[in-house]
Chain A
Amino acid sequence: MMNKKILGMIGAALCCSFALSGCGSEKGQENTGGKTQISWTAWLGAPVNENADMIKYWNDLLDVDIDVWNIEAANYSETIALKIAGGEIPDVLYIPTMASYTKYAKDGILAEFTDEQVKEYAPKMYETYKKTDENALSYRKVDGKLYGLPALTTKYRRPMAYRGDWMENLGETKLPETLDEFETLMYKSAKNDPDGDGTKNTYGLSAGGVYAVYGAYGIVPEFWMENENGELVFGGVQPKMKEALALLRKWYSDGVLDPEFIVSEKQSASSNMSTPFVNGKIGFTANGEDWHFKPKFDNSNEAVDWEGDNVKELRKIDSHAADSIRLGLPVKGPHGDCGLGSSSVIGTKSATVSFSTKLQNDEKKLKKIFEVLETIGFTSYDNLLTAKNGIKGVHWDFNEKNQIVYLDEKYQQYTERAKIGAHTVMTTLASLEWNNEGKENEVEWRKETKADYGAIENKLKTVLESEGVYGVELEKLRSEAYISIITGSKDLDYFDEFVRKWNTSGGEQLTKEANEWYKGIK
């Protein structure tokens, strides 16, 4: 008995002492030898070597001393949280998710700055943000204060990818433009043996394809959209969704919708490829992004170009089929709606770059960091190219077609570029304006396939306060409701009950918060 008591006390004492030691202060890094020392974090494809070429290059050019923290990208969030808890906050803090950004901002570990400061310290960067979206910086405001700069990402819409060889076999030449035409093609794909093997083993569409149907009703179920009163509403509970589900329910019972639509078309999270599409089970998909279906361009900005994963994998099975893939446009629904989900240039999924709270009172250093960020990402194509690929003439060079050729073949792999401090190490924040530089074929392809046509973006560009509380539960409720309606295990009218449940289990609160936010940025 006695032993146990002592034991418990010792245990408690140990716990306390550990907890207390966690609060110990860190000695700050001061400027040494005139060069501003900057500790730096980013998404790293591979750990950066000591004395990496590119870090040296920027250090010399910008008269700084950058120290990149090698934090594994796959476990970035937990590892950085550990370091922060241990009192180590990098000057330049890369934050991959909006949720942790908001949390850090509220925890007070980030330096606050103003729009004016951005404008003054980095005018070109400021201009780029303003050009991209008037509200670009406002999207990163937490309780009205700015703590971070959003990364810009290229916008990609879901594809409308058809198997051209199937369409040929079915005697169709025109890609569907309306939902009715689309329905006809889907039925034919399921019923008329498009692969010509004499057995009924095909379907029209699967988990990815249903988004084309939702889109024809103007809805992306996961996104927030603006209604006619200028308010934000959640796509998944709109009345039009009921119509879309009714149609899918019919397709399901007619054997047009793949019964496996409840699982993702991706075989693994790693893949950009739609497994049923490549395996010839379905003839249409809206899974992924359009570039997963891109052909190989012989005139890209890099000398070595690749086919999109779906094309590449399909080619292994059937080269003719791979060449026949056709990209269509979102189809028009009965109410004239037409669209398809797309990513946002600045969305909740884009990363944020913040600064250690130590810089709050070190304006000189903060200014220097802004200068570094601006010079690398926002001043010229040459700088950005250097930051991403290495030094021209040392790591790569242009060939006679003005394409990038790596002087050492290993640099084709992004991990090797990351090791020398190129790739994404310095370019979390970068302008998109030179993205199409030297990619004529791709730009042409995008124009031809009207890759941006009907793209629907999520109107909500922040993480709502109560999302952590209700988010998971509501998501479960929603997907279960959809599945049971489509598969017929519940009546169509269950949709109304689901909407009611959605609202009462937190949806109402989210809608309220979403609109508060929306008013704030308007």
Chain B
Amino acid sequence: MKIKKTPGETVFNFLNVIFMILFCCAAIYPFLYLAARSLSSADANFSQITIIPQGFSWENYVRVFKNADIGVGFKNAILRTVVGTTVNVVFSILAAYPLSKKYYPNRSFWTGIIVFTMFFSGGMIPGYLLVKRLGLLNTMWAMILPGAINTYNMIIMRNFFMSLPDALEEAAKIDGAGDFRVLVSIMLPMSKPIIATIALWSMVGHWNAWFDCLIYITDPSKQVLQVIMRRIVLEGTSQMLNPNASEFTDMIVNPENIKASTIIVATLPIVMVYPFLQKYFVKGVLVGSLKG
């Protein structure tokens, strides 16, 4: 039987849709604006709000891809994202699984210690000293190891494992499986949604991260794309203002259109990952949020 909607509900739904459309427009507009700018010719004037490219041209992208730094950054960013995500996921699983077992000795103590780091951290300076003394400066590992386990992600994963029935493990053990076999052959196949979710978060995090690279990596050939993009985008802004530029020819910078295409180039790859993982994503977030 179809339930008839009351007029109130109809109005509510109508307004809801309108509101959502407006909200989506507001969220997507900056991207469209940048996309429009990145496809415009150099003499386009963008003092008015618009999303239509003026004097369509690929010139900006050609110049961005010709920039050797972008290539280096891309390579490093992909490497960092792939290695970093793998490390994140593997270590999160290895930490979360034992902590999800009720028979694990002192389980709440160990969990407590790990959760402790979510609220208190050593801060930036000790972090820097640690990385430095470990000899990780100027290596990719400086950006991967300090955040090898994201506590929040690990807890979510632990909660997911806890929601799986204990009987599965018992059954597998009766059939002669060891702990690793249980994890790899029984638990992991059932945990695809949560693994996909954590992987996606980790991927986006690694792709967008720049600050750790900024402070730990000084070798230009090891810098990631975000740092290079940021440098290009900030050219000529007050943040990059050179207080002792005594000649204004020093201020000749990449035009806004080039900056726009650089941003698009740096953002698009990670945006393209979303559709592939989306189906797991919604499910993963939901189930991960079960009891603590």
Contacts and interface: CB of A to CB of B under 8 A. Distances in A.
Contacts of B246: 152-154, 430, 432, 435
Interface string B226-255: 010011001111111011111111111110
B263 to A, nearest CB: 13
B235 A82 contact: no
A469 interface: no
Interface stretch (B155-163, B198-206, B217-225, B269-277): B217-225
Interface in B40-55: 43-45, 47-48
Contacts of A278: 47
Interface string A406-426: 000000111100010001100
Given A21-B129, A73-B242, A313-B45, A269 B237 contact: yes
A19 B123 CA distance: 10
A316 B240 contact: no
A517 to B, nearest CB: 21
Given A10-B113, A278-B47, A313-B47, A350 B243 contact: yes
B113 A415 contact: no
B129 A73 contact: no
A457 to B, nearest CB: 16
Interface stretch (A46-54, A165-173, A215-223, A331-339): A46-54
Most buried by B among A15, A69, A278: A15
Interface in A8-43: 10-11, 14-15, 18-19, 21-22, 24, 43
Contact of B245 (A4, A300, A317, A424): A424
B103 interface: no
A3 interface: yes
B45 A153 contact: no
A316 B120 contact: no
A306 B120 CA distance: 52
B189 interface: no
A82 B130 CA distance: 12
Contact of B243 (A3, A6, A153, A430): A153
Interface residues of A, number: 68
Nearest to B124: A82
Contacts of A412: 252
Contacts of B14: none
Contacts of B244: 43, 151-153, 350-351, 424, 428
Interface of A: 3-4, 6-7, 10-11, 14-15, 18-19, 21-22, 24, 43, 45-50, 69-75, 79, 82-83, 85-86, 96, 151-154, 267-270, 272, 275, 278-279, 291, 294, 300, 302, 305-306, 313, 316-317, 349-351, 412-415, 419, 423-424, 428, 430, 432, 435
Given A46-B220, A79-B215, A424-B244, 14 more contacts: A7-B112, A45-B242, A46-B231, A70-B220, A75-B215, A82-B125, A85-B125, A86-B129, A153-B243, A153-B246, A154-B246, A291-B248, A294-B248, A412-B252
